[in-house]
Amino acid sequence: MANDKFQLTKEAALKYDSHSVPAMFAPLARATMEKIDLPPSAHVIDIACGTGALTREITSCLTGRGRIVGVDLNETMVTVARENQPESNHNVEWYAADVCNIPCDDKSFDFGFIQQGLQFFPDKSASLKEVHRVLRPNGRLVLTCWRAVSPFNGALADALERHVGETAATKARAPFSFRDGNVITKLLRDAEFEIVLHDAVVLERRFDDLHSQIMALPIEADLRQAGDTVIKTVVTEVSAELSQYYKDGILCVPQEAHLFCAKPVASTK
């Protein structure tokens, strides 16, 4: 079994897939693939694949005899990804594994993708070295990581700080904890990658149902413990704080990501 310190329940994985994926991770996957020229027969690994938002997008780009592998630390995320994968010419190989221990041979892949995973890896340097190991010499790492705290998460964290506590507020900010482009650039270079593209992707995250989308986040248990009155207050305050982002009654909040594309260089050590 993969590292069990970070395992989610199946219910949490399904909530992630039904709320956060359509609102954010699927649009980010589409925006990323629009910027990347993926050969139709490429061998590709999606690392920290979650429930497979990006893996599905990659699958739809591979028209030839490519190979696709999805790897995530969470067994439940991988299970949901496997259950979600539509019938196609490609049988995705799914593995529950830590990024530092990818169960694939050296130099197996033309492309390695990490969509919104790097910020959660405890040993980022070892993670990137492991990705370097499985990439072919002319391969590419495509990495996205949020570039600024989104107005939504900022407003949510502030409301949680006021009404629930610091631990919940920190969880709401966690996806944005690693966002300095210069730090990511140095990390990539230190892991022997040469950056060939550093771009920005700006998404509009839609909230069709703010209450449900807040309750689908990892802070759900903290909010439930705080009780219904607090939940109502948090949702009301977040909505008020974001009033400038309502368009025709729907909340649409911008969210920006770094997009890096880097190629492995031969080791100098």
Ligand X SMILES: C[S@@+](CC[C@H](N)C(=O)[O-])C[C@H]1O[C@@H](n2cnc3c(N)ncnc32)[C@H](O)[C@@H]1O
> Where do contacts with ligand X occur on this chain (CB under 6 A)?
6, 21, 25, 48-50, 53-54, 72-74, 77, 98-99, 115-117, 120-121
Residue from 205, 175, 153 nearest 28 by CA: 205
Are the C-beta atoms of residues 21 and 53 closer than 8 Å to each other?
yes
d(CA 62, CA 172): 35
| CB nearer to ligand X: pick between 114 and 169 | 114
Residue, CB closest to ligand X: 50
SS3 55: helix
As measured in angstroms, the least distance from the Cβ of 2 to ligand X is: 8
Given the complex with ligand X, which of 120 and 178 has the nearer CB atom? 120
Q: Closer CB to ligand X, residue 93 or residue 241? A: 93
CA distance 99 to 128: 8
Amino acid at 40: P
Give min distance, CB of 207 to ligand X, in A.
18
How far does CA 24 lie from the centroid of its chain?
A: 9
**Cβ 100 to ligand X, closest distance in Å?**
7
CB of 17 to ligand X, least distance (A): 8
Q: Which residue, 79 or 233, has its beta carbon nearer to ligand X?
A: 79
Nearer to ligand X, 42 or 73 (CB): 73
Show the tokens assigned to 97.
């594994």
Radius of gyration of the chain (CA): 19
Q: How far is the CB of 246 from ligand X (least distance, A)?
A: 26
The DSSP symbol for 101 reads G
What region does 179 belong to: left with phi over 0, alpha with psi -120 to 50, or beta?
alpha
